[in-house]
Amino acid sequence: MCRESASGLARALTEASAKAGLVELRLDCLQPLELAKVIPEIPELARYAELPLIITLRAADQGGHNKLDRSERISCWKSIAEACVNPDSEADLLFDLELDLLTDEGLRPIWDKLGWKRIISSYHDFTNGSPDLRAIYDRLAASGAGIIKIAVSIADAKDLSPIFELLEVAEQQDRLLIAIGMGGAGLATRVLAPARGGFCSFASLNDAESTAPGQLTVETLRSVYRFESLNRETKVAGLIGSPVLHSLSPVMHNAAFGKVGLNAIYLPFEVSDVIGFFNSIIKPGIAGSGLPVLGFSVTIPHKTAVMQLLDWIEPVAKSIGAVNTVVVREGNLHGYNTDVTGFIEPLKQRIPDLRGIRAAVIGGGGAARSVLWALGIEDVESVVFARDTEKAAVLAREFNVEVVKLQGADFTGFDVVINTSPLGTIGAQQSQTVALSHQLQGVRLAYDLVYTPKETVFIREASQAGCTVIGGIEMLVSQAMAQFKLWTGIQAPAQVFHEAAWSVLNAS
């Protein structure tokens, strides 16, 4: 909990205690005058928390919010020790300290007063470097503190394995360890670490009160990731790509796992080095020495690169030249492409017989490749419209289709117009569209593969032109259901996927 003022702290602690298993009070967030007010009240505040309360006064170079120098920090900790003088009478208090203070022999009487078993010896690294975590762990363990905390920035999910290995070391040594990978790429540690021996994870009451990069809210940990039900046997699936944190896939798949009662979790893995990720996370998981891997979704930019890492690839995925689903089967990695099924099924629900219709496919990237392949199987006459016709010419040759410049395009005579480009996606491109209503007059159906926002400019323009419309959420759900069945052998209800996705889109 990070508040600048002492006002309302007791109420906030009561609120936090209703949602969490323990509460952290970040004293370094308080303004100096407010800090002086709060320190004498710590024992009383602990009673409001009704849970173990961690008292933290983080140094500025370790992520602290104030500018207290070393002597000021020491003075504050002396006051904290005086306020909490009897370690046994306030057994629900823990104290988070950096190693530079704990190893100062002159300060040892202060820590003796607090009680060493209640001290967390902590280390934070925000540099995205590659620190020697085992050496850091050993130094922290030697301090005499009852709990060790290591939090380091993770830029690529391939670097998660040292954190999970450290949890194994601590468990073997019967030491209490908090191990966190900060940043979006470290999200898996926040979800999985306690299930693998970690002392706790950290979450915020809301997004505004996050105290570290990549920190989730308590509600997200509990409702999306089913945090409290996870254990060592929990199978791990996830999304490999970059960027992935915006994806609705974790919400959908985790809702489905919960609905069918499977002990499995789906996580977003921010990955730039896909080969490194397979070597450090997936292969050890298959061998039984790492996270127990169920399978993965694969997205941009790895759908083609991942193919070289697989033991077997289905003919459809080979033909398209892209894999979006990896399944662990009898110790081998199998590759599939569910984008084809995901795309074509919603279209055929509207137009059951696609033979002979004309389709304008907008875009020249990987999504267009899957769409053209699916349309070709259905004997649809396709034309590619692209901003970069030279790039799209590769597709034109491969699928024997015409390429037309997108700018100023006329879609007269087309039954279906399909946007496979990212134009209209939430963010910098949200106000853009591949076509306006006057260009879409007479078109039977418009299909946008973009699913955030829930109504793109293209969908709005197509509706104004009188087109039947299909939003990207339908393809997303369809391909996700196919992935889920490949991993589990279970056909999860479509309603579960739809409701989970719309719960997020309607809240945004």
- 């994870």: which residue's tokens? 201
Distance between CA atoms of residues 218 and 3, nearest Å: 17
- Asked about 303 being catalytic, the answer comes back as yes
Strands 235-241 and 176-182: unpaired
Local structure of 291: helix, strand or coil: coil
Question: What b/e readout covers 362-383, taking b as 16+ CB neighbours within 10 angstroms?
Answer: bbbbbbbbbbbbbbeebebebb
Distance between CA atoms of residues 285 and 269, nearest Å: 15
DSSP track, 382-421: EEEEES-HHHHHHHHHHHT-EEEESTT---TT-SEEEE-S
Distance between CA atoms of residues 264 and 254, nearest Å: 8
Active-site residue, from 149, 303, 348, 405: 303
500 Cα distance to chain centroid: 16
CA distances from 351 to 317, 346, 444 (A): 25, 9, 10
Q: Write out the H or E segment, with its range, that includes residue 359.
A: strand 358-362
**Phi, psi dihedral angles at 214 (to 5 degrees):** 85, 5
Q: Is residue 482 exposed (0-12), middle (13-18) or buried (19+ Cβ within 10 Å)? A: buried
Distance between CA atoms of residues 495 and 499, nearest Å: 6
Strands ordered across the beta sheet of 416-419: 402-405, 381-386, 358-362, 416-419, 445-448, 468-470
DSSP track, 193-251: GGGGT-S----BSSGGG--STTPPBHHIIIIIT-GGG--TT-EEEEEEESS-TT-SHHH
Q: Is residue 471 exposed (0-12), middle (13-18) or buried (19+ Cβ within 10 Å)? A: buried
Q: Would you name the residues annotated as active-site residues?
A: 303
